Amino acid sequence: MDTLIHEKSYPRIAKSMEIRCPSARAVVWHDDGTLRVNGEVVAPTDVSLKTAWISTDAFGSGKMDEFANAMIELGPIEWAQTINAGLDMPVYQRLGEHGINISKSDSQSIPIAEYVLAYALQHAQDVKFRQRAQADKTWKRHRFAELWQANWLIVGYGHIGRNVAKRAKSFDSHVTVVRRTQLRDEYTDHIAPPSELLEHLPKADFVVLACPATRETRNMANAEFFAHTKPGSLLVNIARGSLVDEDALLRALEEDRPGHAVLDVFAVEPLPEDSPLWSHPKVSVTAHISNAGHGFVGRSDELFLSNLERFIAGEEPLDVVSAVALANPE
């Protein structure tokens, strides 16, 4: 069974794949389009792909479109594993249109959740006040907020939202989740449908956007959203830049609704140099790096191998999104 893997990813998993998935033949894709099996160049006609691994290296190479072309042309591929938690990028719609089912990944949910909690603590404890006091060599004391029994509003509850909720609950916080399905777990205190989002904003100390980009969520955080936002609260967007109306956010910050915004994603990326978000005192800008924890790659590799074992055994891999759903995004 032929499996397409990027040239930089294969050395990390080669031994494990040989032991755990002996019936899978690694077809190693190189950035120049060359295909190799056991180190030897092979022709496309000698390959018949059934599975593929859309790894960090496939995306990071800047050759994802070409890699996707290989998936389509050398198939028919039945299943692929990706590193992404959200599959709203155009490349996934294209792969879905060619009948490829794709498993989402939870590998990045841990660093993203820790990123959110880091900024939540920084905001609550006013770490910048302490840094200024040290820089000025002034002995200043101040009271600060606590995460204990704070109110969290998490919009979207996939792997990322759930990991944020799990960490928030460790501070005995109250967690409200906005999602379409009303399934609760041990990390949620209340589940609300999207139609009730505005009702819960006035009580939320921390608002986390962790939902997919769809027609319904585009510019979800707009003027009306911010008018209902609790003064002094923290907004964190680790989902998609299209969720936030950036002009509306800038106006709302002047009214302290929210008191601060942490943005890892933007409508245009990289964020243009002339964007006022860069220098706004109430905005923290990061370069779409909230998933860049040191354990991300290793977890991603392990997820691919374990799901490949499932596929070979005739079992359904975890977190599969059907080709039909990918080809017809909401």
Q: Look at phi and psi of residue 39 and say left if phi exceeds 0, alpha if psi is from -120 to 50, else beta.
A: left
pLDDT in tens, 128-147: 999 999 999 999 999 999 99
User: Cα 112 from chain centroid?
Assistant: 7
pLDDT given for residue 259 in this prediction: 98
pLDDT given for residue 280 in this prediction: 98
> How many residues can be counted in the chain?
330
Give the chain's mean pLDDT.
96
| pTM beyond 0.85, yes or no | yes
pLDDT given for residue 183 in this prediction: 84
Burial code of 95-112, b = ≥16 C-beta within 10 A, e = fewer? bbebbbbbbbbbbbbbbb
The identity of residue 79, as a single letter, is W
Joined tokens for residue 82: 């990706």
Q: What is the largest CA-CA distance in the chain?
A: 73
pLDDT in tens, 92-104: 999 999 999 999 9
Please list the active-site residues: 240, 269, 288
pLDDT in tens, 41-88: 999 999 999 999 999 999 999 999 999 999 999 999 999 999 999 898
Query: What structural domains and CATH numbers belong to the chain?
Result: 2-107+295-327 (3.40.50.720), 109-285 (3.40.50.720)
Alpha helix stretches (DSSP H) within 195-289:
197-200, 223-227, 246-253
Q: Are 241 and 266 in contact (CB under 8 A)?
A: yes
Whole-number CA gyration radius for the chain: 22
Pairing of strands 35-37, 25-29: antiparallel
* pLDDT string in tens for the chain (330-residue length): 999 999 999 999 999 999 999 999 999 999 999 999 999 999 999 999 999 999 999 999 999 999 999 999 999 999 999 999 989 899 999 999 999 999 999 999 999 999 999 999 999 999 999 999 999 999 999 999 999 999 999 999 999 999 999 999 999 999 999 999 988 899 999 999 999 999 999 999 999 999 999 999 999 999 999 999 999 999 999 999 999 999 999 999 999 999 999 999 999 999 999 999 999 999 999 999 999 999 999 999 999 999 999 999 999 999 999 999 999 887
| Residue 165: its H or E element | helix 159-169
Distance (Å, rounded) from C-alpha 3 to C-alpha 25? 6
